Homo-oligomer: A and B are copies of this chain.
Amino acid sequence: MKTIDAADLKDFVKEVFLVMGCTPEDAVQAADILIRAELRGIGSHGAMRLVEYVNLWKNKRVNVRPEIKVINETIGTALIDGGKGFGLIVAPKAMRLAIKKAKEAGTGWVAVRNSYHFGIAGYFAMMALEHDMIGIAMTNANPLVAPTYSKEPLLGTNPIAVAVPAGKEPPFVADFATAPIARGKLDQKFAVGELAPEGLLQDVNGEPVTDPDILSKGGAIKTLGGDKEHGGHKGYCMTSIVDILSAVLPGANFGPLVVPTLGYLAGEKATEDKGIGHFFGAIRIDAFQTAREFKDYMDLWIKTFRKATPVDGKDEVLIPGDIERNSEEKKIEDGIELPENVAKNLMDIARELDITGLMLK
C-alpha cells in the first residue's frame, strides 16, 4: 500500500485531465469525483479508473471538450447529449440541470446519452442534499450480468444511488450496484487466490461457479438474489429498469450493445457508439412536506433503524451511507491508501504524460 494525501492525489488527477485537454473547471470537477470515491472507500471507482480514462482518450473514444447539448426539454425534464465526453464531466452538469428543473416543477429528471463511465453514482445523488432535495442517479455499464435463465451477460452492474436529507442525523446515502458483487471485488479475490461466494457467478454454460476470474472466460455475474428460487428475477427486473431508464429512454447504447471499455468483453457488438447513458433525478422535499417536518421524520427513520437489535457479533444495524461517511472522515485525516498496482499505474501515467510531483509513500 502507498499512502497519499487526498489534496495531493486530487492535484495529480486534475493535472492528468488538464494534460488530456480538459478545461480547468472540468479537470477540477473530474478530480473531485474520483477523489470523493477514494475518500468514501470505493477505490474501485477512484484513482484505479484513471488508466481506463486515459485509454479512452488515447483511443480517441472521448471528446475532452465535449459539446454538451440539451436535445429536448420540458419544465421538469431534459434529454442531454453528452457529446462523447467523460461521464465525470457530463454527469455533474446533468445533475445540476435536474436540480434546477426541480426548483420549478417539484421534481427534475435528466436522461443522458453519449456519455461514459461517471464514477460513483452517489456523488451526483448527494449534490441534491444541500438543496433539501432527494437525489437519484443511475447509469448503465459494460454487460457482465446474465438475466435470469440467460447464458449470456446482457446487463451491466448498473448502479443506483439515492441520497435523502435528514435533520440532526447524517443523510441516508444508498449507492449500490444492482448486481450482487462488483467486478472490482472479483478482481481483488482473484489477485489473492480467493474464491467468490457461492451463488453469485455462472460459467459460459450458465452453471454455478466460484471462480472469480470467470468473466474473462465467458461467464457472468448472476442478478441480485441469484437463481429464481432465491429471487434473482427481482434483481433482473431492477437491473433492467436501470438499463431502460439510463439507456433506452435517452437513446444510449443499452445492455449488450454497450461498447466495452475494458478487456473483459470479447468483441464489440454495437455498430454505433452512442455511449452509455445516465438518469438523474431531484425531488424537492417541500413539494411534499415542509423540509423541517420531513427531516424530523427522516431522523426518526434513521434512529429507529440504527437502534434495532443487531445480530450477535455485530455492534449495530447500519444506515446506508454510514460506512462511506466513516471512511471519508478517516481518510481526510490519514490520507488515501492505494494498492501497489494502482500506485504503479499512476506513476506510469505520470511518466507518460510528463506530470511531475506525484509523491507516493
Given A206-B311, A304-B154: A317 and B149 interface contact (C-beta under 8 Å) = yes
Counting CB contacts under 8 A, is A241 at the interface? Answer: yes
Interface of A is mostly: mixed
Task: Confirm or deny: A214 has a beta carbon within 8 angstroms of a beta carbon on chain B.
Answer: no
- Chain B residues with CB below 8 A from A229, complex form: 197
Residues on B with beta carbons closer than 8 Å to the beta carbon of A317: 147-150
A208 to B: closest C-beta gap in Å: 11
Nearest CB to that of A74 among chain B residues? B106
11 A–B contacts, CB within 8 A, in A order: A72-B289, A105-B107, A154-B304, A162-B237, A174-B238, A174-B240, A176-B234, A206-B311, A240-B320, A250-B289, A251-B288
Check B318 against A148 for contact (C-beta < 8 Å). yes
Q: How many copies are assembled? A: 2
**Are A298 and B150 in contact, CB atoms less than 8 angstroms apart?**
no
User: Could you say which of B109, B245, B301, B310 contacts A244, with CB atoms under 8 Å apart?
Assistant: B301
Note all chain B residues with C-beta closer than 8 A to A73.
106, 287
Given the known inter-chain contacts A234-B177, A244-B298, please indicate yes or no for A288 contacting B79, CB distance below 8 A. yes
Judged by a CB distance under 8 angstroms, whether A97 is at the interface is: no
The verdict on A293 contacting chain B, using a C-beta distance below 8 Å, is yes
Least CB distance from A275 to B in Å reads 15
Within 8 A of B (CB), among A292-338: 293-294, 297-298, 301, 304-305, 308-312, 314, 316-318, 320
Partner of A225, one of B76, B180, B206, B233: B180
Return the 5 tightest CB-CB contacts between A and B, nearest first: A180-B231, A77-B106, A74-B106, A206-B311, A174-B237
